[in-house]
Amino acid sequence: MYIIGIDPSLSSSAITIYKDGNYQLFNYTNKEAKYIWFKSTNHLIDFLHHNYVIGDNFSESEVEKIKIYDEVTDEIVNNIRRVVGNCRSKIYMEGYSYSSKGKIIDLVAFSTLIRYKLSKIPKADLFIIPPSSLKKYVGELAYGERFVLKKDKKGMCRNDEGKAAGSFDKKDMMKALLTLDLELPYFDYLLDNRDKLLNPKNIPKPFDDVNDSLLLAYYGCVSNNVNI
């Protein structure tokens, strides 16, 4: 059985596919291939670049977006089909975060297309994981002994900086990921470049999205008692 984690993004969707100790990482991005972080990780992540430009005319751009989203989601879903073939798979996809900055309506349209197409894959079960649930799970996984309060009804954990899991940002998620001691080259790369990735204000692409897809796959493995 394949376990798949998907972090949808308009500019940098990421997928982790896991089976029998093997991880495959994919990133669908509108950034150029010469971007320094892509060049340094193209042996670890399969990148698919799409160079689409939305025009200034509102009506035309709205129609063009649908065409773009349809093509990109086709690439994502068809690639999953090629990997899993006729095998059973369980797909864990991050849900919408309505507090997110950026074009939330466009992200909902994009993600809905992916969900619909994923639901058509034979022998595949699709699970939508709310961002808050993933953050809480990751917090418990990495910092399970540190609760906000002994009687906290939410049972929320804090990281080493004292931040509650429900408030984790991309940096906090990466720090939690690095506590898992996973056996794959990408994980070793994160460890070797930890300071370079965590020092900037924001974690650079594609790491923030790939990390989340990896955590979703990990969540799926644990939920199905799959050895990692």
Kindly list the domain boundaries of the chain, sorted by start residue: 2-223
Separation CA 59–CA 40 (nearest Å):
39
What CATH superfamily is the domain 2-223?
Ribonuclease H-like superfamily/Ribonuclease H (3.30.420.10)
Query: What is the C-alpha end-to-end distance of the chain, expressed in Å?
Result: 13
Q: What pLDDT, on a 0 to 100 scale, did the predictor assign at position 74?
A: 95
Separation CA 153–CA 191 (nearest Å):
34
Q: What is the pTM of this model?
A: 0.91
Q: What pLDDT, on a 0 to 100 scale, did the predictor assign at position 35?
A: 81
- Where do we find the tokens 């009804």? 153
Q: What pLDDT, on a 0 to 100 scale, did the predictor assign at position 21?
A: 92
**196 Cβ neighbours under 8 A, 6+ residues apart:** none
H/E stretch holding 81? helix 58-84
Q: What pLDDT, on a 0 to 100 scale, did the predictor assign at position 151?
A: 38
Q: Is the dihedral of CA 140, 100, 70, 34 positive or negative?
A: negative
Separation CA 168–CA 42 (nearest Å):
28
Q: Which parts of the chain register pLDDT below 70?
A: 51-55, 97-102, 145-155
Report pLDDT digits (tens) over 2-19: 999 999 998 899 999 999
Q: What pLDDT, on a 0 to 100 scale, did the predictor assign at position 91?
A: 98
Q: What pLDDT, on a 0 to 100 scale, did the predictor assign at position 144?
A: 80
Q: What pLDDT, on a 0 to 100 scale, did the predictor assign at position 22?
A: 94
Nearest CA-CA partner of 112 in 63, 59, 54, 66: 66
Q: What pLDDT, on a 0 to 100 scale, did the predictor assign at position 147?
A: 58
